[in-house]
Structure 1
Amino acid sequence: MKIGELAKQTGCPVETIRYYEHEGLLPPAGRNPANNYREYGAAHLERLVFIRRCRTLEMTRQEIRELLHARAAPNDSCTSINSLIDEHITHVQTRVAELKALEQQLIQLRRQCQAAHTNRDCGILRSLDNSVADGSTAPAQHHSGLAKPLA
């Protein structure tokens, strides 16, 4: 099948398939000698579906590489897979805690303005201005990886 058909069957954009090939997550497709188009087979489809499932779990490219490596060695112990998932769970738990802290900061910020005012009198804007004036950072910048500071 051509790359467009693979993309259609997996719901994965063509550019992403090419990226996965470039990154070594998906083996390069063979070329059809008649038209030089890339030809993908059932193994590509199966592997791409696996990669996509991993991505829905927000696994990194490195984690996916490790899982693909383990998948290629079916008789090895799955201890490394368990460890990888345990580490990923810890990472997710950290992110959940950061998001909960961010939620609390936003709730506290929202409490600064309970009624409609002019923007000049808005407690939220005043609070954000005061945090800049007193040298503290904006609430969203306290969370690594959740919000990027404006440059």
Structure 2
Amino acid sequence: MADSKWLRSGFVWIVLIVAVIALWFTLVSGENEPTALSIGQVVAAVKAGEVERLVQVEDSREVTVEYTEAAGRQDARTTLPAETNVLDVLRNYGVDVAGQPETLVTITPASRWGAWLGAIGFLLPTLFLIGIFVFMMRQAQGS
């Protein structure tokens, strides 16, 4: 009987340790994150012809910078000033938007699932932890 109890508590500890390790790797691993650039650096790259596309999600200040293969740079990300869009910022910095290829600026629609995924991403781990605590409390009452 004691071995069965040790087995159950050992299993709980193993699950908790694996969960902590997974959380640690999720938070620490940022290798695939695009580098952050200032808007001035992005404009300089656009003027130099190194940028293939600027992708902005609708109603977002984040812009993904995709470089040409000739530039040999990794994709980057920049943040726009409040209440602006990519085209306005490029014009304000003196970039001739009409002289650029049509595919330079791409504004994609926002995901319909973004708010739901954010809520689920918060609620599921919270409910999981509550479930673990309730399970542990019930097990403690039984002994």
| TM-score under structure 2 length normalisation | 0.28
In terms of fraction of residues, the more strand-rich structure is 2
Select the structure with the greater relative contact order (CA < 8 A; seq sep ≥ 6): 2
Structure having the higher helix fraction is 1
